[in-house]
Amino acid sequence: MSTMTTAPAPQLRQSLTNGRLPKWAPVAVTVLSIALGCGIGAAAGLKSHLQWGLISALLFVAVSYAVAAKVEGRRQAKDRFATSLVWVAFILAVVPLAALTFYTVQQGIAAINGNFLTHSMKGVVASTTPDGGIYHAIIGTLQQVLLATLIAAPIGLLTAVYLVEYGRGRLAKAVTFFVDVMTGIPSVVAGLFILSLWNIVLGFGYSGFSGSLALAILMMPVVVRSTEEMLKLVPNELREASYALGVPKWKTILRIVLPTAVGGITTGVMLAVARITGETAPVMMLVFGSDVINNDPFNNPQQSLPLYIWQQYSMVNNDFGYQRAWGAALVLIAFVMALNLVARGIARWRSPKSGH
Amino acid sequence: MTSSPPATSEGRVRRRRGDSRLGDAVFFNLSRGSGILLLAVMAAIAGFLAYRSGIALSKNQGNFLTTFEWTPDAAHPKFGIAVLAFGTLVSALIAMIIAVPVAVGIALFISHYAPRRIAQPFAYLVDLLAAVPSIVYGLWGVLFLVPHMDGLTRWMDQYLGWTYIFDQSKSGVPPRTLFTVGVLLAIMVLPIITAVTREVFRQVPRMHEEAALALGATRWEMVRTAVLPFGRPGIISASMLGLGRALGETIAVATVLSTNSVLSLHLLDPGGGTFAQNIALKFNEAQPFGRDALMASGLVLFVITLVVNGVARLIIARRKEYSGANA
């Protein structure tokens, strides 16, 4: 009797360790498939290293499935297969980001110097010299984005206040839904709308301001969404305490609710600014572009960074133009990324406390 | 306070209450007004585009839906959206086919697979990918991605040419094709799909996952039985949000695609066009009537994105209530 009960024990211990791949197996498979991928890529004479990587990734998935199926059985093999696919997805996301950043920095850094940042394209024959700069484009972008923010931020903020503090009934529901839908409006459609209203019906010409109007349309829903989320996080106890002291609702909102959420709201606005800074299509249709510095956003065409990149690429369309385009692209990306990082930093630093 | 006569105190109270009522009324109307303004802007966009396209369509000598050419400023204005609609849908479809599985994989990676130390920074990184301006994607696409797609394009032509759609009728040209545009769009919509999917995966009730694991499921079986069914509406709506982006993307497509007004099923041949790209490229040299024609195509794009985004939001909204009940 006693021998019968003890007999299965060693077998069980064995099966716990036997049917499993060792811990170092995934690493080994990775190394093996990368080596094989590079080998095959080199042997087949494939020029692009991205293709080597793709082959390695496919090999990685296949080999880890095969090995696991051999040693661990079908269920475990499927698990390993899924895990390796998820890791490949991760790598696939990293590759374009790394390639894009690396390539932009590599190409852009060569174009950027003091002259490039402080001069316009006035009097420069763009297609035959590397001269000229982006000063006028930086001025234009800053002015247009500032004007758009001045229009969109208050409207967006007030709308969010309405939705969170007052919103009941059908109107609030409609606003919520259409704000959501509005975030998906293609920028080119916003540009078309401002063009038909502002430039064709009302008869204004190309100017930085009409570009700002289109940018404001794109910016408003983003501000509303993020502000709404932040206002919802403000604990209700704060509002109730304020009401209990006899403070009217509007003062409660201005003095209690908004200051509590100010960090998150700032983040939201900055992210929205970052988003519209890179918009090209509406600027192209409404601001038109110019080679000289125009400090007046309300009259005459201006330049902007995205538009400058587009014009250097499509109109100059040679190495001089490409180089200037990459320089402007690097400045633009650096600006947008800096906005993003600062915005997220603020969000961390001043996130609404949950009241405990 | 007690020494002051009751009449003045009452008067002060009444005045203050009057102030607060006025303040409340002003503030309420201001905030409601901005909400209404947003609705008005949406309505105005639809109204103006519809009005201008009405003008354009009444003088169009071609069929708006089936004509290939886009020559609204010719003596006999003729324009149609056949090529544009085809190009828009096909490039967005390719983008979806590539981006959705990868995005779901990334979301799973962040929410369930990655070591905690990697997951958070990586989520940030993916969000940053969303911040890259589309013109930079376009520039990178045409100067970096297009040369790198050359090998893949030739390989697909060689081995998948029998499918007809991957057959290259003329080799040796730079692959500024609908297929390359699709790949670029996939990279561009990846972050938004990932972000939404990730949030839904995070909301999966912990109990469901642990129950699956306790029954002896492997991690993949847990994901398949607990996470994916819960997240399916989220995945669908996230994909539709991404689809909306891909359909409306303008400048990146305009940079990468070499356009012509030929509707070709050979996806690896340069050519074709999309709504947004066509508007951006034709706009500055168009005559007033040509602009109206472009607005007609803009209206079509507007309606399509409106429907796609609206459906996505409706699915998400339903989901919210459901997950709220579940929490």
Spell out the SS3 assignment of chain A: CHHHHHCHHHHHHHHHHHCCCCCCHHHHHHHHHHHHHHHHHHHHCCCCHHHHHHHHHHHHHHHHHHHHHHHHCHHHHHHHHHHHHHHHHHHHHHHHHHHHHHHHHHHHHHHCCHHHHHCCCCCCCCCCCCCCCCHHHHHHHHHHHHHHHHHHHHHHHHHHHHHHHHCCHHHHHHHHHHHHHHCCCCHHHHHHHHHHHHHHHCCCCCCHHHHHHHHHHHHHHHHHHHHHHHHHHCCHHHHHHHHHCCCCHHHHHHHHHHHHCHHHHHHHHHHHHHHHHCCCHHHHHHCECCCCCCCCCCCCCECCHHHHHHHHHHHHCCHHHHHHHHHHHHHHHHHHHHHHHHHHHHHHHCCCCCCC
Give the per-residue pLDDT at A351: 60
Q: Out of B34, B139, B220, name the one closest to residue A155 (CB).
A: B34
Asked if A50's CB is within 8 angstroms of B105's CB, the reply is no
Distance from CA of B200 to the nearest CA of A (A): 16
Distance from CA of A108 to the nearest CA of B (A): 11
Give the per-residue pLDDT at A203: 86
B157 three-state secondary structure: helix
Asked if B298's CB is within 8 angstroms of A192's CB, the reply is yes
Give the per-residue pLDDT at B319: 59
- What are the pLDDT digits (tens) for A329-344? 999 999 998 998 888 8
> Cα-Cα-Cα-Cα dihedral of A23, A24, A30, A36, to 10°?
-130
Asked if A175's CB is within 8 angstroms of B251's CB, the reply is no
Strand partners, B270: B177
Asked if A166's CB is within 8 angstroms of B28's CB, the reply is yes
Q: Establish if A338 touches chain B: CB-CB under 8 angstroms.
A: no
Please report residues of A whose CB lies closer than 8 A to that of B120: none
CA distances from B199 to B64, B179, B323 (A): 41, 30, 12
Give the per-residue pLDDT at A180: 85
Q: Out of B27, B106, B308, name the one closest to residue A89 (CB).
A: B106
B177 three-state secondary structure: strand
Q: Establish if A171 touches chain B: CB-CB under 8 angstroms.
A: yes
Please report residues of B whose CB lies closer than 8 A to that of A337: 128, 131
- Indicate which of A61, A182, A250 best probes the interface with B, i.e. most B CBs within 10 Å of its own CB: A250
- Alpha carbons B260 and B269: distance in angstroms, whole number: 11
Distance from CA of A279 to the nearest CA of B (A): 7
* Residue written as token pair 């409306």: B248
B78 three-state secondary structure: strand
- What are the pLDDT digits (tens) for A133-167? 899 999 999 999 999 999 999 999 999 999 999 88
Distance from CA of B41 to the nearest CA of A (A): 8
Q: Out of A89, A97, A174, name the one closest to residue B109 (CB).
A: A89
**What's the average model confidence in pLDDT over A28-37?**
85
What does the H/E/C string look like for A167-207? Answer: CCHHHHHHHHHHHHHHCCCCHHHHHHHHHHHHHHHCCCCCC
CB pairs under 8 A between A and B: 275
With CA atoms as reference, the chain A residue closest to B221 would be: A79
Strand partners, B70: B79
- Indicate which of A54, A193, A254 best probes the interface with B, i.e. most B CBs within 10 Å of its own CB: A193
Q: Look at residue A89 and tell me whether its pLDDT is greater than 50.
A: yes
Asked if A284's CB is within 8 angstroms of B280's CB, the reply is yes
ipTM of the complex: 0.86
- Indicate which of A181, A219, A314 best probes the interface with B, i.e. most B CBs within 10 Å of its own CB: A181
Give the per-residue pLDDT at B91: 93
Higher confidence at residue A78 or residue A8? A78
Q: Establish if A178 touches chain B: CB-CB under 8 angstroms.
A: yes
With CA atoms as reference, the chain A residue closest to B126 would be: A93
- Alpha carbons A303 and A328: distance in angstroms, whole number: 12
pLDDT along chain B (327 residues), means of 10: 46 57 88 93 92 89 84 84 90 94 92 86 82 91 88 82 79 84 93 88 89 91 91 87 90 87 79 88 85 91 90 74 38
Q: Look at residue A200 and tell me whether its pLDDT is greater than 90.
A: no
- Residues 6 or more apart whose CB falls under 8 angstroms from that of B102 comprise A89, A92, A93, B186, B190
- C-alpha of B152 from chain center: 26
Please give the structure tokens belonging to residue A284: 């192209």
Q: Establish if A243 touches chain B: CB-CB under 8 angstroms.
A: no
Q: Establish if A332 touches chain B: CB-CB under 8 angstroms.
A: yes
How many other C-beta atoms lie within 10 A of the C-beta of residue B41? 21
Q: Look at residue A51 and tell me whether its pLDDT is greater than 80.
A: no
Asked if B295's CB is within 8 angstroms of A178's CB, the reply is no
Asked if A275's CB is within 8 angstroms of B301's CB, the reply is no
- C-alpha of B7 from chain center: 64
DSSP string, B233-298: HHHHHHHHHHHHHHHH--HHHHHHPPPBS---S-TTSB-B--HHHHHHHHTTT--HHHHHHHHHHH
Asked if B34's CB is within 8 angstroms of A158's CB, the reply is yes
* Residue written as token pair 């708006």: B64
- Alpha carbons B269 and B180: distance in angstroms, whole number: 10
Asked if A322's CB is within 8 angstroms of B45's CB, the reply is no
Letter for the amino acid at B236?
Answer: I
* Residue in B118, B117, B177 with CA at minimum distance from that of residue B145: B177
Q: Out of B30, B106, B223, name the one closest to residue A158 (CB).
A: B30
Let me know if B215 is exposed, middle or buried by CB neighbors in 10 A (0-12, 13-18, 19+): exposed
pLDDT-based confidence at residue A48 (cuts at 50, 70, 90): low
